[in-house]
Amino acid sequence: MTVFSPLVTALARLLIFPGLLFAVPAAWFFLWVERKSVALMQGRVGPPFMQPFWDFVKLLGKSTPPRSGVAGLLMRAWPLIAVSAAAGAVGLLPVLPSSGGFEGDLILLLALLELPSICIIAAGFSSRSIFGEIGSAREAALSVSYNIVFLLAIVSIAASQHTFRLDALASAPFTALHWIGILAILVCLPAKLHINPFSLPNAEQEIYAGPMTEYAGPELAMWELSHGLEWVAGTGLIATLVAPHVTAAWLAACIFVAISFAVVLLLSALAAATARLAIDSSVRFYWQCTLIFAVLAISSVLFVRFRS
Amino acid sequence: MNILIMLWKNLLRGYQTLLFPAHPRVTPRFRGLVQFDPALCTGCAVCRFRCTSRAIEFKAGKGEFTWSYNPGQCTFCGRCVEGCAEHALKEGHTEHALSQQEAVPPIYTMQGELKKSYTVARRPPAPKPAAPPTPAPTAGEAVPSTAIGGAQ
Backbone phi, then psi, for A236, in 5-degree steps?
-65, -35
Q: How far is A258 from chain B (nearest CA, A)?
A: 20
Nearest chain A alpha carbon to B7:
A41
Maximum C-alpha span of chain B: 106
Nearest chain A alpha carbon to B17:
A44
Residue A76 has pLDDT above 60, yes or no: yes
| ipTM of this complex prediction, to 2 decimal places | 0.73
Q: How far is A271 from chain B (nearest CA, A)?
A: 11
Report helix, strand or coil for A95.
coil
Choose among A20, A46, A42, A44: nearest CA to A32.
Answer: A46
- Average pLDDT estimate for A35-47: 92
Chain B stretch 83-102, residues whose beta carbon is closer than 8 A to a beta carbon of chain A: none
Cα A57 vs. chain centroid, distance in angstroms?
23
C-alpha atoms less than 13 angstroms from C-alpha of A254 in its C-beta half-sphere: 6
Q: Between residues A307 and B3, which one has the greater pLDDT?
A: B3
pLDDT for B27 equals: 79
Q: Does B16 touch chain A (CB under 8 A)?
A: yes
Q: How far is residue B56's CA from residue B62's CA, in Å, rounded to a whole number? A: 20
H, E, C per residue of A119-168: HHHHHHHHCCCHHHHHHHHHHHHHHHHHHHHHHHHHHHHHHHHCCCCHHH
Q: How far is residue A37's CA from residue A54's CA, in Å, rounded to a whole number? A: 19
pLDDT for B112 equals: 59
Nearest chain A alpha carbon to B4:
A273
pLDDT for A61 equals: 87
For residues A69 and A76, the answer to whether their CB atoms sit within 8 Å is no
Residue B95 has pLDDT above 70, yes or no: no
Q: How far is residue B56's CA from residue B72's CA, in Å, rounded to a whole number? A: 11
Least confident of A51-55, A63-67, B143-147: B143-147
Q: How far is A235 from chain B (nearest CA, A)?
A: 22
Q: Is there a contact between A39 and B3 if contact means CB atoms under 8 Å apart? A: no
Structure letter (DSSP) for residue A287: I
Exposure letters A220-249 (e unless 16+ CB within 10 A, then b) = bbbbbbbbbbbbbbbbbbbbbbbbeeeeee
Residue B146 has pLDDT above 80, yes or no: no
Q: How far is B115 from chain A (nearest CA, A)?
A: 27
Q: How far is residue A205's CA from residue A210's CA, in Å, rounded to a whole number? A: 10
Provide the percentage of residues in chain B whose pLDDT is more than 70: 67
Backbone phi, then psi, for B55, in 5-degree steps?
-85, -20
- In this structure, which amino acid lies at residue A107? I
Query: What residues in B contact A273, CB-CB < 8 Å?
Result: 3-4, 7
Residue B99 has pLDDT above 60, yes or no: no
- In this structure, which amino acid lies at residue A56? F
Report helix, strand or coil for B69.
strand
pLDDT for B139 equals: 52
pLDDT for A196 equals: 85
pLDDT for A1 equals: 47
Instruction: Choose from A45-59, A94-108, B18-32 the range with maximum mean pLDDT.
Output: A45-59
Q: In chain B, what are the domain boundaries?
A: 36-121
Of A45, A269, A273, the CB nearest to B17: A45
Q: Does A278 touch chain B (CB under 8 A)?
A: no
The tens digit of pLDDT for each residue in A241-254 reads 888 878 788 898 89
- pLDDT tier, A81 (very low <50, low <70, confident <90, very high otherwise): very high
Query: What residues in A contact B11, CB-CB < 8 Å?
Result: 40-41
Mean pLDDT, all residues of chain B: 77
Report helix, strand or coil for B75.
coil
Q: Does domain B36-121 have CATH number 3.30.70.3270?
A: yes
pLDDT for B145 equals: 42
Query: What residues in B contact A42, CB-CB < 8 Å?
Result: 7, 10
Query: What residues in B contact A41, CB-CB < 8 Å?
Result: 7, 10-11
Query: What residues in A contact B3, CB-CB < 8 Å?
Result: 273
- pLDDT tier, B149 (very low <50, low <70, confident <90, very high otherwise): very low
Q: Is there a contact between A40 and B16 if contact means CB atoms under 8 Å apart? A: no
Query: What residues in A contact B15, CB-CB < 8 Å?
Result: 39-40, 43-46
Q: Is there a contact between A40 and B10 if contact means CB atoms under 8 Å apart? A: yes
pLDDT for B103 equals: 47
User: Do strands B116-121 and B89-91 pair parallel, antiparallel, or not at all (unpaired)?
Assistant: unpaired
Residue B144 has pLDDT above 70, yes or no: no
Cα separations in angstroms, A262 against A49, A87, A192: 18, 21, 18
- pLDDT tier, A307 (very low <50, low <70, confident <90, very high otherwise): confident
Cβ contacts of residue A33 below 8 Å, gap of 6+?
Answer: A261, A264, A265, A268
The tens digit of pLDDT for each residue in B31-75 reads 888 889 999 999 999 999 999 999 999 999 888 999 999 887 888
- Average pLDDT estimate for B100-110: 51
Q: Does B20 touch chain A (CB under 8 A)?
A: no
C-alpha atoms less than 13 angstroms from C-alpha of A53 in its C-beta half-sphere: 7
Q: Between residues A33 and B123, which one has the greater pLDDT?
A: A33
Nearest chain A alpha carbon to B8:
A41
Q: Does A269 touch chain B (CB under 8 A)?
A: yes
